[in-house]
Structure 1
């Protein structure tokens, strides 16, 4: 047979009664000592010249001279007996009263503990009912501000963050499914059209193959971007010194777009982190600045060191970015003006933000006055 579960309420009730018992025992002991020290001694009187001694007996007679010693001994014995009996009765009655009050304190402690823990039971019951489908529920604790209401507010904050994360995850899955479905549908349509042609030519079949390969490459880029995003959000497995100017120079050399001018100023800067993730971050920033630009526009790429951090800044002269839409650009599959179609995968800047967060860095994005975007990244220096 298992022992009864020792709940917090039971432990608090026992604690309250235990403290009451200890305090009662201490009070009883102090009272006992004060009472014992307050008993009077036998009072003897002497006459004026200090020679004669008188002792009053219990029956009211007075003992003089030689009878004084016996009378005094009887008085002391009687007083000692009275004191011992009084102290015994005091301890007995005080102990009985303390035992009764201790038992009562257990019940009172049980009631008080239940009242104190009532908000905690409410928090527990409500939290147990909440699941992934109703994360919008909140505890909404009311009453006096104390530790339990602060706990309720903390749980509400946690539920809000979980709701936001679940919503973002569902949106991410829906967007990823849409983005993956588009090239698959394109491939299927192209293949069905080719198969419906009874006399296809070699050139037509080659064109179909090229279109299918292009759709496959788009899927590969999307899957690679999704894997990079997931790896960034997971965190870093290791950190090593990374030459930020060298990575930026390589990204600029490998990605030249006709009609776009790239200006570089690469000062020494060594970051501490994952080389592949930082490379992907730099490539995404350069690609985004080149892709979302205007004909004849420019892209500026600069690196440097500042206050113990490696700094990378990429700016372009693209279209005007409304400040209220700036945060949306860092959400997966979200493009300017809320469009879900257009150039790019919609994962470039979200990957940049995830990489910066994984490295414990800082990201600052600001719209340019004449159009375009300037993104500055600070990473821990190596």
Structure 2
């Protein structure tokens, strides 16, 4: 029965806001008018205003409850006078009743007329109030990916409608930035994937065209194809990691930062020896919550970047610890001088210093670091070292300090020196 009643109410309720506002204005006016009519009727009915005179020259109100009646009908002059007075009093009561009925009817007619006028005025006022909303709705409907740069740019007093328009403009600005980043990301990814595909096509074509090809030439071409295929696989793996980390964490796990740090450093010490780069590690146990695989990938990318962009005889300093109530992973390296104004750009996809084709690096390492940090509610800062190289620090919430985020928390403000990196997710 309740569901049937709710369904009936839902069907009878107007769907347009303007109609609902008009009905609300009309109902409020009718209710206020009815209350005012009832108060007026009560006050008028309480005091009749009809005055009669007694035989002795006194006066009484005919409508008063304590009015003294004339003597009843009798044989003397006073009896006849009392009969006349009683007739006048009854006539006054009938006249008062007719006047009250006439007042009620006339007031009801006036209330009905004003109710119609109130509904009409309510319709006009509701349309005037909702006009800015209709304008904003029409503008938003016209905005698409091609003209996302347009804004509502509402003018007027700083009221709720102005706040709504400014909020929508801010949302459109963030959407425009995200779309631009997405376009750049797709263009860069297509370029990075097209280069190895072109090389593979050239190698295969060369093998087919060369009629004097030997087994050794076939083997050399196949080795180059295999190397190119491995580069493509690493690129696709990096893209998948970047995409997966931006969705946030579904099931964070408790872990100690020292465990993935030791794994990463142990696996990369041979390469550091081949490059002539020394690694200095200060690893302390630090409890956090998050995805162990993603955190290990973050550390691996930092160390790989520090080893690749280094100089013979250089060094890499790797540190885990606690600072200002946050779990900190810090990686510093020597190397070529990095312009301070280019530091933030290095954390964008496919951006790198000293770009070299075919070096096996696609410029996704630091962008993956930033994306994983955002997924863990971590703050990522970086600064260019005056003597060359880069210093990167990632600070995670300690376990028990709210835990790692689920991808919906905003990273806290970066602490310490350095330039704060953009905290938005990569496109």
In the superposition, the TM-score normalised over structure 2's length comes to 0.81
> 5+ unaligned residues in a row in structure 1: which ranges?
47-51
Cα distance in structure 2, aligned partners of 1:331 and 1:299: 23
Match of 1:108 in 2: 121
Q: CA deviation at 1:264?
A: 0.7
Q: CA deviation at 1:130?
A: 1.5
The secondary structure found in structure 1 opposite 2:156 is coil
Q: Does 1:313 align with 2:337?
A: no
1:321-357 CA-to-partner distances (Å, cap 9, x unmatched) read: 22222221111111238x5857521101111111111
Equivalent position to 2:26, from 17, 37, 61: 17
Structure 1 contact 330–349 (Cα < 8 Å) conserved = yes
Matches within 5 A, 1:72-87: 72-87=85-100
Q: Does 1:287 align with 2:296?
A: no
Equivalent position to 1:223, from 223, 236, 251: 236
Structure 2 contact 322–328 (Cα < 8 Å) conserved = yes
Match of 1:91 in 2: 104
Cα distance in structure 2, aligned partners of 1:260 and 1:168: 35
Equivalent position to 1:175, from 183, 188, 207: 188
Q: CA deviation at 1:380?
A: 2.7
Cα distance in structure 1, aligned partners of 2:381 and 2:87: 100
Cα distance in structure 2, aligned partners of 1:289 and 1:79: 109
Equivalent position to 2:207, from 191, 194, 197: 194
Match of 1:30 in 2: 39
Equivalent position to 1:278, from 274, 295, 300: 295
Structure 1 contact 331–350 (Cα < 8 Å) conserved = yes
Match of 2:219 in 1: 206
The secondary structure found in structure 2 opposite 1:138 is coil
Q: Does 1:133 align with 2:138?
A: no
Equivalent position to 1:253, from 266, 276, 280: 266
The secondary structure found in structure 1 opposite 2:362 is coil
In the superposition, the TM-score normalised over structure 1's length comes to 0.90
The secondary structure found in structure 1 opposite 2:225 is helix
The secondary structure found in structure 1 opposite 2:329 is strand
Structure 2 contact 51–59 (Cα < 8 Å) conserved = no
Q: CA deviation at 1:44?
A: 5.0
Task: Compare 91-100 and 3-12 and name the one that shifted more.
Answer: 3-12
Structure 2 contact 351–363 (Cα < 8 Å) conserved = yes
Equivalent position to 2:173, from 116, 136, 160: 160
The secondary structure found in structure 1 opposite 2:219 is helix
Cα distance in structure 1, aligned partners of 2:148 and 2:357: 31
CA 1:158/1:342 → structure 2, altered by over 3 Å: closer, same or farther? farther
The secondary structure found in structure 2 opposite 1:144 is coil
Q: CA deviation at 1:315?
A: 1.2
The secondary structure found in structure 1 opposite 2:380 is strand
Match of 1:330 in 2: 347
Cα distance in structure 1, aligned partners of 2:305 and 2:198: 26
Cα distance in structure 1, aligned partners of 2:58 and 2:394: 106
Cα distance in structure 2, aligned partners of 1:195 and 1:55: 132
